[in-house]
């Protein structure tokens, strides 16, 4: 089944999901992009969030792990990457502020479509009962491009 066939689970997850998923997708990537730039900004965001975990003494970052699919999921797919935090560990605005600051600091030359939502599981086997991360990624990528907001 396709990700959009689970939108009923999406609605539930916005209230019950314990993970907050953020997606950043390079605008007009068909014209070309440097994958190293994508890696740089993702790593910079990851480092900033790790620093906040230490300074605030709380868990913020969630590293999706799927035993059935071979371990940790990096969160990069072509011209897009995702970051996952625990629900209410930081505000949406704080995450987007970090992204913007790191994009400026690193002089990343691309605009990004962006969006976020909550999801319930990293285990694709449970994806017919709980809203699964990768359904969320596909949903957000589609919705972000339709919204046409860029950062």
- DSSP letters spanning the chain: --GGGGHHHHHHHHHH-SEEEEEEEETTGGG---HHHHHHHHHHHHHHHHHHHHHHTS--B---EEGGGTEE---EETTEEEEEEETTSS-HHHHHHHHHHHHHHTT----EEEEEEEE-BS-GGGTTTS-BHHHHHHHHHHHHHHHT-B-
Indicate the domain borders of the chain.
3-147
Please give the class, per CATH, of domain 3-147. Answer: alpha beta
pLDDT of residue 5: 86
Per-residue model confidence (pLDDT) at position 1 = 52
Name which of 114, 116, 117 is nearest 150 in CA terms.
114
pLDDT of residue 139: 95
117-150 per-position pLDDT tens digit: 999 999 989 999 999 999 999 999 999 999 988 9
Estimate to the nearest angstrom the gap between the alpha carbon of 86 and the chain centroid: 12
Go through 87-119 and write b for each residue having 16 or more CB atoms within 10 A of its CB, e for each that does not. Answer: eebbeeeebeebbeebbeeeebebebbbbbbbb
Q: Report pLDDT for 143.
A: 95
Specify the pLDDT at position 67. Answer: 58
Q: Which residues of the chain have pLDDT under 50?
A: none
């Amino acid at each position: 089944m396709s990700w959009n066939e689970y939108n009923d689970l999406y609605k539930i997850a916005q209230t019950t999901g314990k993970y907050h998923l953020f997606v950043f997708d390079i605008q007009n990537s068909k014209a070309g992009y440097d994958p190293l730039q994508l890696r740089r900004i993702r790593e910079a965001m990851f480092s900033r969030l790790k620093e906040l975990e230490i300074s605030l003494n709380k868990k913020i970052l969630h590293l999706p792990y799927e035993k059935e699919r071979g371990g940790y999921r990096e969160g990069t797919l072509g011209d897009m990457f995702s970051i996952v935090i625990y629900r209410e560990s930081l505000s949406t605005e704080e995450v987007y502020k970090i992204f913007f600051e790191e994009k400026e600091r690193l002089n990343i030359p691309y605009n990004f479509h962006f969006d976020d939502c909550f999801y319930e599981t990293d285990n694709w086997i449970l994806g017919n009962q709980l809203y699964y991360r990768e359904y969320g990624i596909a949903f957000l990528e589609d919705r972000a491009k339709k919204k046409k907001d860029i950062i």
